[in-house]
Structure 1
Amino acid sequence: MTEMVQALRSTSSRSDVRRTSFVLFLGMVGMIASFQGMYNILLPAAIERFDPAGKVQDLAILTTSAAIVTIVGLIIGGIISDRTRSRWGRRTPTIFFAAIGSIGLMIALGLARSVSALMILMPSVWFTLSLYQAALMAMLPDRIPPEHRGLASAAIAAGTPIGILVGTNAAAAATSSLGGYLVLSCLLAATTCIMFIVAPESSSLENESRTAQLTVNQHRGSLFAGFKSRNFTLTFVSRFLLFVSYFAVTGYLFYLVQDYIGTSGLPGQSAATAVTILLSIMTAAWLLVTPFTGYLADRVNHTPLIVGASSIGMGIAIFAPSISATWFAMIIFAVGMGACFGIYFAIDLKLMSMVLPSEEAAGRDLGVLSVATSAPQVLTPAVAGWSVAVGGYQLLFASGAALAILGGLTAFFIRVRESQNVHGGR
């Protein structure tokens, strides 16, 4: 009888994990689609309409300001959701109000008629979507047992490339700017509602007494308390180095194929066609490896090793074009980058959840770790600009490869017990 009860509980637990992983995937798709549809399609088109002469500078200012408010939003979103106690759970209220704010701001962006309006509205919507992201990611350590976090991490990772494809295609297919924003708003609303219906959070009111211990002053004083943990610090440094490498290279992909490889050696002698092909290869490789990585991550107790190896693999792939300025080398780069980044992304969030020093501040600490993804976007223009100025695009590839490999080697020094819970990161 006892074995039967345990079997039923195990089946129920697996069902809950699958259901929660599915809604985390949907939430990521809706959020990434909103980010990417705006950033890649709608905003550049609007800037070109309003200020064609200054479009490059305008977009650079918007990108920098958006990266800065993203850093703030991730940390604040984590802190707010950590402190929330309601009948709907800890994370749901933050996700709900962030979604409402994001939808309102996206519609306002569709109605904007000047660059000045975009300068106010774009960072605002990036802030609310960052609140959404912080609370969404914090659901992983809250609701997924450590032994199943590889599956959930992979599900979230798969939501990123699919969100990019859905968001950019939906925005591009819209017949007007406002129509594009409305489509993205409806998608975010739909995925959020499905999350709440399919896998609602349980009440967190019973933890009210714990909330009293987490005062605002305590949060202010301990915002970077996670860095007292060796594993937390190493994870942050490893992620930071990798994403500086990633953004420095991929952010200049158009110019890399146009000026370094040369249009005469590109398919159709077109840089735009070449970039489309490379991104398609990277996305396909990413999606191909993600399910396998999630399955493997829950069965092989060497998470830091997999993270480090995938980062080093990315470094090797980035280094290939520095040896040979050919289209074939760029194909190798795209396949290697897509596959290794897919493996990395599929297991990275699992590792992040394993090095959190405190269960009560999981959202805050995940937000801080996520800064290692956002901050490089502010720094990479300087890194890339220096590399190209000193040694050309060849040095950009070489320095990007070195940073990725260094990030991978750093991950090898992370020590976690794979069976531990969220408190095991000290």
Structure 2
Amino acid sequence: MHQHVSTDVGRSPDFETVPERNIRLTGQQINGWFIARYICALIGIYVALVTPASVTIAIRVGQLDPEGKATSFALVSSLGAAAALFSNPIFGAFSDRSKSRWGQRRPFIIGGILVGSLAVIGIGFAPTIAMVAIGWAVAQGGFNAALASVVAILPERVPDKLRGRVSGFMGMSAQVGVVGGTYLTQLVGTGGAGMFAVPVLLGLAMALPFILFFREFPRTRDEVLPINFAGLLGALWINPFQHRDFGLVWMGRFLAWTSLYLLTTYKTYYLIDHLGYTTGTVAPILTTAMFVLAIAVVISSIGGGWLSDRVGKRKPFVILASIFFMIAMGVVAYSTTVEGFLIGIAIAGLGNGLYFGVDYALVSEVLPDRHESAGKGMGVFNLSSTIPQTLAPLLAPLLLMIGADGGSGNYTSLYLCAAAIAAASALFILFIRGSK
């Protein structure tokens, strides 16, 4: 049995595609039920991860340090993003090399979700900013280990003809997750640990059906690369000059995520400092904003992914998404009312869904060594979204200082700069050769 598997896995991808080979060896067809469980698991992870990142940690930091909340939140966010920066590609490479009898990806999905969930629940009981920062770093490490394995399943299992549609569902998963988590936060309140515990428990329940029914086959020693220090360092890097198209996709996504994080990371403080809300009154507006964002993302992500499969092109959708980003940032920059803010959020959602609903399909077409190292490749690709988590909180205070005449900072300058960054992201996509 092992001999047969080893021979097939070692076959050249010229004979059959990677998804075809995995379907044959596992006997698991990629149908609607598989995709539904897969997307549900991804949404569950995002419910657990993005809810604290976008809502509850900012509230918790504001409760513990109301005067220095901006600086403290920057510290907590940056440490967490640094943990994500390393854990995503490194655990992706570990899963590429896994010989576990339980499969390559499943052990890392289970372990990452459990570690991340326990750490997030711990944040709810943390008495100091330092403890919040440590808890968030551990949580980011755990959940990004799970994400690295989940995202690697796209190039390994999903056939080319379905990737745009599946990518579209993947693109909307983060926003659906966070709006669900935000509603849960509003239901359980922001006065205790429940605002952290309930979203992670829901996320775990949503991921469980995929984990239980996902079929893998154990790899032998001859079928995987050895685990060594040099290999793990290499997991953080794919040469953008050697793999030019991958480098362009990576850089375009990096700039798009930086622009988006400048909007979403500081939206709580924008509402407090710019529009006059407080930590006690801001939650309903955040819930409304997340709902508006999610609706726009779902419409453009699913529609854009389906349409990109139909026309056989990815690049025009990504470029159009960057234009939506620019318009959205300009609207938010000059808004003086919550209605204007929500209009900007809606336009950003259209751009967000359109971009992230197509970019997974786009990168799967230019991913180096995807038949052997999909975990590493997608892990490095995911750095284009995790690095901005570190960069945005560090960059935002500097941008807020431009033209500021008070202690709260100049949010107009912040979001105009975000618009310029979004414009730059489109330029990189124009030069990709390996995808239309």
TM-score normalised over the length of structure 2: 0.81
Do the aligned partners of 1:26 and 1:191 also contact (CA within 8 Å) in 2? yes
Q: 1:280 aligns with which of 278, 287, 291?
A: 291
* 1:217 is the counterpart of 2:217: no
Pairwise CA RMSD: 3.2
Do the aligned partners of 1:303 and 1:351 also contact (CA within 8 Å) in 2? yes
Do the aligned partners of 1:81 and 1:135 also contact (CA within 8 Å) in 2? yes
Question: After superposition, what is the alpha-carbon deviation per residue over 1:323-354, rounded to whole angstroms, capped at 9, x for unaligned?
Answer: 77676754542332111211111112111222
* 1:143 is the counterpart of 2:157: yes
Do the aligned partners of 1:25 and 1:156 also contact (CA within 8 Å) in 2? yes
* 1:161 is the counterpart of 2:175: yes
Residue aligning to 1:414: 432
Residue aligning to 1:188: 203
Q: 1:294 is matched by which residue type in structure 2?
A: G
Q: 1:345 aligns with which of 356, 360, 364?
A: 356
Secondary structure at the aligned position of 2:402 is classed as helix
Residue aligning to 1:369: 381
Do the aligned partners of 1:226 and 1:357 also contact (CA within 8 Å) in 2? no
Do the aligned partners of 2:50 and 2:174 also contact (CA within 8 Å) in 1? no
**Shift of residue 58 of structure 1?**
3.0
Secondary structure at the aligned position of 2:357 is classed as helix
Residue aligning to 1:401: 419
Residue aligning to 1:380: 392
In 2, the alpha carbon distance for the partners of 1:371 and 1:219 equals 15
In 2, the alpha carbon distance for the partners of 1:329 and 1:97 equals 42
In 1, the alpha carbon distance for the partners of 2:70 and 2:273 equals 18
In 1, the alpha carbon distance for the partners of 2:272 and 2:35 equals 40
Secondary structure at the aligned position of 1:297 is classed as helix
Do the aligned partners of 2:41 and 2:208 also contact (CA within 8 Å) in 1? no
Q: Unaligned regions of 5+ residues in structure 2, if any?
A: 1-22, 404-409
Q: 2:368 is matched by which residue type in structure 1?
A: P
Q: How does 1:17-32 map to 2 (within 5 A)?
A: 17-32=31-46
In 2, the alpha carbon distance for the partners of 1:331 and 1:290 equals 19
Q: How does 1:190-269 map to 2 (within 5 A)?
A: 190-198=205-213, 200-205=214-219, 208-212=221-225, 215-221=228-234, 223-227=236-240, 228-254=242-268, 256=270
**Shift of residue 173 of structure 1?**
2.6
**Shift of residue 273 of structure 1?**
6.5
Question: After superposition, what is the alpha-carbon deviation per residue over 1:22-77, rounded to whole angstroms, capped at 9, x for unaligned?
Answer: 12211222111112333455444544555555544433321111111111111112
Summarize the Cα distance change of 1:406–1:27 in structure 2 as closer, same or farther, 3 Å threshold. same
In 2, the alpha carbon distance for the partners of 1:103 and 1:185 equals 5
Question: After superposition, what is the alpha-carbon deviation per residue over 1:371-411, rounded to whole angstroms, capped at 9, x for unaligned?
Answer: 11121222224433333333444433332222111101211
Summarize the Cα distance change of 1:146–1:58 in structure 2 as closer, same or farther, 3 Å threshold. same
Secondary structure at the aligned position of 1:390 is classed as coil
Q: Which structure has more helix as a fraction of its residues?
A: 1
Do the aligned partners of 2:238 and 2:380 also contact (CA within 8 Å) in 1? no
**Shift of residue 135 of structure 1?**
0.9
Matched positions, count: 401
Q: Which moved more, 1:295-304 or 1:34-43?
A: 34-43
* 1:72 is the counterpart of 2:90: no
Do the aligned partners of 1:37 and 1:170 also contact (CA within 8 Å) in 2? no
Summarize the Cα distance change of 1:330–1:121 in structure 2 as closer, same or farther, 3 Å threshold. closer
